[in-house]
Chain A
Amino acid sequence: MNGNRRGLRSRKCCARVLHRVVLIAIVGGVLLPIVPLLLWSVSHSWFFPQVVPSEIKLRAWSYIGSPFSKVLNALVNSLLVAGMVTVAAALLGVPAGRALGLRRFRGKAIVEFLILAPIIVPGLAVIMGVHVLFIRLGLVDTIFGVALVHLLPSLPYMIMVMSGVFANYNVEFEQQAYSLGAGRVRTFVQVTLPAVLPGMVTGALFVFLISWSQYILTVLIGGGRVITLPVLLFAFASAGDNAVTAALCIVFLAPAVLILLFTSRYLSGESGAMGGFGRL
């Protein structure tokens, strides 16, 4: 009895240590690459075989903060585009996901394949045709056009996530709400939305980050007029300015990390509504 308990305690202790080690490894794996970025961003001269830069200057950061650089402009553009794409993807993806998740209809497999096609087919192959079309429609060189083209690789993810959510969703909750006297709008807001919101947040996160890191589509449709952070980043990287590139990288990372922090409670398995109401 006694020995058994001791064995149990040591096993528990072991598990806790293992838990810590894995946690540290994961956090370290994510954070470690940021350390050289931080160092690069403040280095003035840093040559082999020095371990740390010999001279520290805040030139890159003061450039980024200065009103003459385009960084603030690019940041706003990036946020604007990613925001528009996310809203549009939600507006299109929720009803599409609902239809795919809840209904069975003829040709559903074909529809699903076509929705996934933009992920499978390289974007560059499609974009040339889209480019010509956009020129005709006057959508090139506009922020709106860039947002529109960003939907191409991101919308499939939203639809996939939402169709998964709705596949686990019990529509009878809505019928129950109607029966209790709730109209369509209030049923959607009070019953459907809370059930699918965690899934929507997950999908929105995908969409936002895909748009956020888009380069080629932005450059082609934006035509160098719509400057987003990745566009700026590539420019500095190819110009060989390591300090500014590193500082930009950190600026580029920040929103993604912030969003992840704010939405993490939706992503954890703890929220029971992860799969709609389906598994209650």
Chain B
Amino acid sequence: MSSVTLQHLTHNYTGSPAPAVDGLNLAINRGELLSLLGPSGCGKTTTLKLIAGLLAPTSGDVFFDDRRVTRVKPERREAVMVFQNYLLFPYMSIEENVGFGLRMRRMAKSEIAERVRRIMALMGLEALKERRPAQLSGGQQQRAALARALVLQPRVLLLDEPLSNLDAHLRDEMRELILSIQRSLGVTTIFVTHDQEEAVLLADRIALMFDGRIRQIGESRQFYERPSSRRIAAFFGNNNSLPGYKQGRLVSCDLGQLEVDSEVADGPVSLVIRPESILLGSGGINPFSAVVTRQIYMGTHNRYRIAVGGGQWEVVAPAEAGSALEGRRVAFSLPPEKIWLIKETGGFPETGG
């Protein structure tokens, strides 16, 4: 197991105007399960390949523990990458696939057989060892690809979208498998995903990437409760925001004046509040009213859209019988402790962390 440190890591694909990875700084602890989260094309997979050594950085360095591995070839790095589409070698049996890395290390045949047998048992692959990759389902292929990486006992495990090619029910199963194996082996794991839910469910910490840079890093809770920009809030499913101006304990915005409880310095801010934090009904602090434009029944709760400040806000509230609010004006309040303020600087309200 190693810690991984990225220092000013930059990668520019030839012919591309902007770097895919732009001055990345990131420290991953030993045994940690970190998620690199971001929309497609934000440089997540490129970062993973830079750590694996499959791409050479334009500038910057990669460290495993204290050792600089920037110039170490991928086959000597002991950071094993599992690709999104599994890439099992099609002309080898599953057993041969899993043993590939050990054969490359010129390990004794009996030793290879024993290790392969053990990992295949752990991953529930014994029955499939004679099969070819093409004869396996997606979930089985994923498990085989994971076994092929884990059998090497890598210092760092790199997973590229490990769940995205699987059906919903398989995804839950595979997530639990990855989690339990990562916990039991304690291997430092970095996994790339575009799905914030996946990241929240699986990762110890999340590093959120936009445009080749890490914008916020921390535990998943922080992304919901303390997003560092409106864009990050939106990425985590929260579009309830308004620009405003803070003065002391008050913020003036399109709704009017609000009372807030925030450490942010006075000046232009963005006001963000989660859909479930908005209280429907009259009374409370910061009471306002708005027209419900849409009501969606979600089973355990209702989801409402209300017209606020020229845009749409979302409110989530328990589903109560007969509460048809669509088209009606409702009262709501914004509890000050639930209002999150983001400091905005000049004309770039989108750049947070």
Q: Residues of A with Cβ closer than 8 Å to B?
A: 170, 172-173, 175-183, 186, 190-191, 194-195, 272-273, 277, 280
Contact B148 A178 (CB under 8 A): no
Contact A180 B49 (CB under 8 A): no
Given A179-B54, A180-B101, verify A170-B91 contact (CB < 8 Å). no
Given A172-B87, A175-B49, A176-B83, verify A272-B149 contact (CB < 8 Å). no
Q: What residue in chain B is nearest A280 (Cβ atoms)?
A: B90
Please name all residues of chain B whose beta carbon is closer than 8 Å to the beta carbon of A182 when the two chains form the complex. 75, 100-101, 104
Partner of A170 from the list B79, B87, B158 (CB cut-off 8 Å) is: B87
Contact A172 B148 (CB under 8 A): no
Please name all residues of chain B whose beta carbon is closer than 8 Å to the beta carbon of A191 when the two chains form the complex. 89
Interface residues of B in 139-171 (CB under 8 A from A): 148-149, 152, 158
Q: What residue in chain B is nearest A183 (Cβ atoms)?
A: B75
Given contacts A172-B83, A180-B100, A195-B90, 11 further A-B contacts (CB under 8 A): A172-B85, A173-B89, A177-B100, A177-B104, A178-B73, A180-B80, A180-B149, A181-B152, A272-B134, A273-B90, A280-B90
Interface residues of B in 277-305 (CB under 8 A from A): none
> Could you show 25 A-B contacts with beta carbons less than 8 Å apart?
A172-B83, A173-B87, A175-B52, A175-B74, A177-B89, A177-B104, A178-B54, A179-B52, A179-B158, A180-B75, A180-B104, A180-B148, A181-B75, A181-B101, A181-B104, A181-B152, A182-B100, A183-B75, A183-B104, A186-B104, A194-B89, A195-B90, A272-B90, A272-B134, A280-B133
Contact B90 A178 (CB under 8 A): no
Query: Among the interface residues B81, B104, B105, B148, which one has the most CB atoms of the partner chain A within 10 A?
Result: B104
Measured CB to CB, the closest approach of chain A to B89, in angstroms, equals 6
Q: How far is the CA of A110 from the CA of B220 in the complex (A)?
A: 53
Please name all residues of chain B whose beta carbon is closer than 8 Å to the beta carbon of A277 when the two chains form the complex. 90
Q: How far is the CA of A60 from the CA of B73 in the complex (A)?
A: 64
Measured CB to CB, the closest approach of chain A to B132, in angstroms, equals 9
Please name all residues of chain A whose beta carbon is closer than 8 Å to the beta carbon of B85 when the two chains form the complex. 172
Closest 10 CB pairs of A and B: A180-B101, A178-B74, A181-B104, A176-B87, A182-B104, A179-B81, A175-B54, A181-B75, A181-B101, A178-B75
Contact B90 A179 (CB under 8 A): no
Measured CB to CB, the closest approach of chain A to B80, in angstroms, equals 5
Measured CB to CB, the closest approach of chain A to B107, in angstroms, equals 10
Number of residues in B with C-beta < 8 Å to the partner?
28
Q: What residue in chain B is nearest A173 (Cβ atoms)?
A: B87
Please name all residues of chain A whose beta carbon is closer than 8 Å to the beta carbon of B90 when the two chains form the complex. 195, 272-273, 277, 280
Please name all residues of chain A whose beta carbon is closer than 8 Å to the beta carbon of B79 when the two chains form the complex. 179
Q: How far is the CA of A26 from the CA of B76 in the complex (A)?
A: 55
Q: How far is the CA of A172 from the CA of B90 in the complex (A)?
A: 13
Please name all residues of chain B whose beta carbon is closer than 8 Å to the beta carbon of A176 when the two chains form the complex. 81, 83, 87
Q: How far is the CA of A180 from the CA of B73 in the complex (A)?
A: 11
Q: How far is the CA of A172 from the CA of B152 in the complex (A)?
A: 19
Q: How far is the CA of A273 from the CA of B91 in the complex (A)?
A: 9
Contact B83 A280 (CB under 8 A): no
Measured CB to CB, the closest approach of chain A to B105, in angstroms, equals 6
Against A, the Cβ 8 Å flags (1 = close, 0 = not) of B90-106 are: 11000000001100110
Contact A179 B80 (CB under 8 A): yes
Please name all residues of chain B whose beta carbon is closer than 8 Å to the beta carbon of A181 when the two chains form the complex. 75-76, 78, 101, 104-105, 152
Measured CB to CB, the closest approach of chain A to B215, in angstroms, equals 28
Q: How far is the CA of A179 from the CA of B149 in the complex (A)?
A: 9
Query: Among the interface residues B53, B87, B149, which one has the most CB atoms of the partner chain A within 10 A?
Result: B87
Measured CB to CB, the closest approach of chain A to B18, in angstroms, equals 19
Please name all residues of chain B whose beta carbon is closer than 8 Å to the beta carbon of A183 when the two chains form the complex. 75, 104
Contact B134 A280 (CB under 8 A): yes
Measured CB to CB, the closest approach of chain B to A103, in angstroms, equals 10
Please name all residues of chain A whose beta carbon is closer than 8 Å to the beta carbon of B101 when the two chains form the complex. 180-182
Measured CB to CB, the closest approach of chain A to B92, in angstroms, equals 9
Please name all residues of chain A whose beta carbon is closer than 8 Å to the beta carbon of B76 when the two chains form the complex. 181
Q: How far is the CA of A178 from the CA of B56 in the complex (A)?
A: 14
Q: What residue in chain B is nearest A181 (Cβ atoms)?
A: B104
